[in-house]
Structure 1
Amino acid sequence: MRAPLQFVLDFFTGGDPVVPTTVPSPTQASNPSPAPLPAADATARAPTVAPDAAQPPATGFVHPAANRHAQLQGVLVSFRFERSRRKSIGFLVGADGLVVRAPNWVTLREVDAAVQEKSAWIVAKLQQFRERQTEQFQKAIEWRHGAEVPFLGRTVQLCVLERGVGRVLGHDLSPDQVLPVTVPPDASVTQVRDAAQVWLKKQAKRLFEERLHHFAPLLGVRWQKLSLSSASTRWGSARNDGHIRLNWRLIHLPISQIDYVVVHELAHLREMNHSPRFWETVGEVMPDYAQRRKALRQSPVGLADD
């Protein structure tokens, strides 16, 4: 049996997509979700499919001011190349991505060869920055009673119910402003965090299914299975057998950005690439996807689209 193809949406995205030549009417954009459709199991996981080579990479690591692209260690990397007065080719990996500087007398062919030679180090450093940013976001939340937790672009208050006590440690907030957790007496911060994340993942699964059911008919596709991901580098992925994976941390972000990721992944069920036809597919139901994509790239969670 032929293995299914997969396309992924990374946390750190750069490079603007190819804009369709025709823009659909805004009336084609999102509406309340229709009734759910049945979901079936998908087949085994398959390798990642790279984007169309003719397009700027939309997967991997992308510097916001990138002007050159390379495939390093099987990963697409868009980097900022600059001329400088230095005596040799230099590499700088920071929060924005890779910057390569070279003196005027070095040819672009030599620059590209040096980038390839340094590829293992570059990818390892980029990965470290990516993971660090995600960890910093999670650590910024104080997992204790009364803490504010990002939820759907706003905040909810963490309210701790001690098991056996039978009451929440006092609050006067409405239910939609509260993240309730039940933990043993004298629970550690880790236990509170884990209980809160169980609640967040439950909300994420419910919402993601709702949005998939809404957008799939608009795109004329059928998804078969949804899985939650905890990946440190990807917002989501899609396989051509209809298996969609979405990162549960999307639940921290506004619904407009969640919907973008959902539409992005569903669009891959029609186009397993990032070609102009793919972006036209996204634009069919989301004319303002470019703005949503930009907001997603700037989110504090630290992930990227595929």
Structure 2
Amino acid sequence: MRAPLQFVLDFFTGGDPVPPTQPKPAILPPEPAPSALKPPASGHDALRGMDAPLPMAAGFTHPAANRHAQLQGVAVSFRFERSRRKSIGFMVGADGLVVRAPNWVTLREVDAAVQEKGAWIVAKLQQFKDRQTEQFQKAIEWRHGAEVPFLGRTVQLCVMERGVGRVHGQDLPPDQILPVTVPPGASVTQVRDAAQVWLKKQAKTLFEERLHHFAPRLGVRWRQLSLSSASTRWGSARQDGHIRLNWRLIHLPISQIDYVVVHELAHLREMNHSPRFWETVGEVMPDYAQRRQALRQAPVDLKEG
């Protein structure tokens, strides 16, 4: 008779172990449909962190996920691995949830353990994302003269009060400033909101240009572009040609933006992440692996769809 399973839950940045628990059987729902740079209502949709505190994400997906579960009403796709460890282990990091178990533990027992610790898992996933958001928010002070990431460089936030005019940034070239006009005495939130309107406008124009550039090279047609504010994904694609791209991509270098654009367009040919999908991406972007790695190291770590 086998000894009872011992569950060890290790948060990526540290955490207290959870006492041993006897697993209970659980049945996972079928694997969800393909695509999505994890959408914000589900997880793969945007540059995290420049807005006010984000609500609970609609889902969390590890980029190398091979199992799925509904935990506390949240879709969680995680990476499951066999290991030589003596217990089932859980780790939450930048990529999401990783579950490891010894060879003798059945998948039913693994699924039961995931369900058993569902509340802890969802809480840690959200904490990790919130922590990343806070770190990025601290990097930008929404005030006159602040430096804002834009296309991999920075532009200076130039705040003009209606009826007063510009105070700083008059000598800078137009391509080095982010101009906003706000009411006299505007709050930091008003300045931030006005700046984001400008950023979203730039994002929409640039994304459409890049979609038009790459779609013919992939032999696909996109029909609609929507900007996303997702908390966990850079973008998503639907079979009907509807592309969603996180507007916060505008903060990143054009090489990384192009990677996300090509990734989503490639889904119009292959609605999965199979070898054929990556071959499709490689047709027009042979160095996609390097661009993907750079994207994963961005200040806000979102997922591809």
Q: Report the TM-score range of the alignment, normalised by the length of the smaller protein.
A: 0.7 to 0.9
Q: TM-score, normalised by structure 2?
A: 0.73
1:77 and 2:74 matched: no
Question: Which residue pairs with 1:61 in the alignment?
Answer: 61
Which residue of structure 2 lines up, in the alignment, with residue 277 of structure 1?
276
- 2:238–2:268 contact (8 Å) kept in structure 1: yes
Q: CA-atom RMSD, angstroms? A: 2.9
User: What residue ranges of structure 1 are gaps of 5+ in the alignment?
Assistant: 14-47, 49-58
Matches within 5 A, 1:213-224: 213-224=212-223
Task: Say whether the 8 Å CA contact 2:147–2:157 is kept in structure 1.
Answer: yes
- 1:14-163 equivalences under 5 Å are 60-62=60-62, 69-73=66-70, 74-78=75-79, 83-84=84-85, 89-95=88-94, 97-100=96-99, 107=105, 109=107, 110-163=109-162
Distance in 2 (CA, whole Å) between partners of 1:178 and 1:124 is: 39
Please give the alpha-carbon distance, in whole angstroms, between the structure 2 residues aligned to 1:105 and 1:242.
Answer: 42
Distance across 1 between alignment mates of 2:218 and 2:103: 51
How far, CA to CA, are the matches of 2:241 and 2:300 in structure 1?
A: 27
TM-score by length of 1: 0.73
Equivalence for 1:8:
36
The offset of 1:81, in angstroms, is 6.3
Equivalent residue number for residue 268 of structure 1? 267
Which structure has more relative contact order (CA 8 Å, sep 6+)? It is: 1
Paired with 2:93 and 2:261, the residues of 1 have a C-alpha distance of 29
* 1:179-206 CA distance string (max 9 Å, x none): 1111112111111111111110000000
Matches of 1:216 and 1:112, distance apart in 2 = 40
What is the CA–CA distance in structure 2 between the aligned matches of 1:224 and 1:96, rounded to whole Å?
Answer: 31
The one-letter code of the counterpart of 1:138 is Q
- Deviation string 1:92-149 (CA, Å, 9 cap, x unpaired) is 43445335566x7963544454234334542443234224423431342100111111
Q: Distance in 2 between matches of 1:236 and 1:170?
A: 34
The match for 2:21 is none
Paired with 2:267 and 2:138, the residues of 1 have a C-alpha distance of 33
Letter in 2 for 1:107: V
Q: Which 5+ residue runs of structure 2 have no aligned equivalent?
A: 1-32, 45-57
**C-alpha distance in structure 2 between counterparts of 1:62 and 1:243, whole Å:** 23
Q: What SS does the corresponding residue of 1:8 show, helix, strand or coil?
A: coil
SS in 1 for 2:249: helix
* Matched residue, 1:238: 237
Q: Is 1:251 matched with 2:246?
A: no
Conserved? CA contact 2:37–2:233, under 8 Å: yes
Write the deviation string for residues 149-204 of structure 1: whole angstroms up to 9, x where unpaired: 10001111111111111334354221111111111121111111111111100000
The one-letter amino acid paired with 1:278 is F
CA 1:272 to 1:158, structure 2 compared with 1: closer, same or farther past 3 Å? same
Q: Which amino acid aligns with 2:217?
A: L
Aligned pair 1:201/2:225, yes or no?
no
Tell me the distance in 2 between the aligned counterparts of 1:296 and 1:113: 34
Give the C-alpha shift of residue 271 in structure 1. 1.0
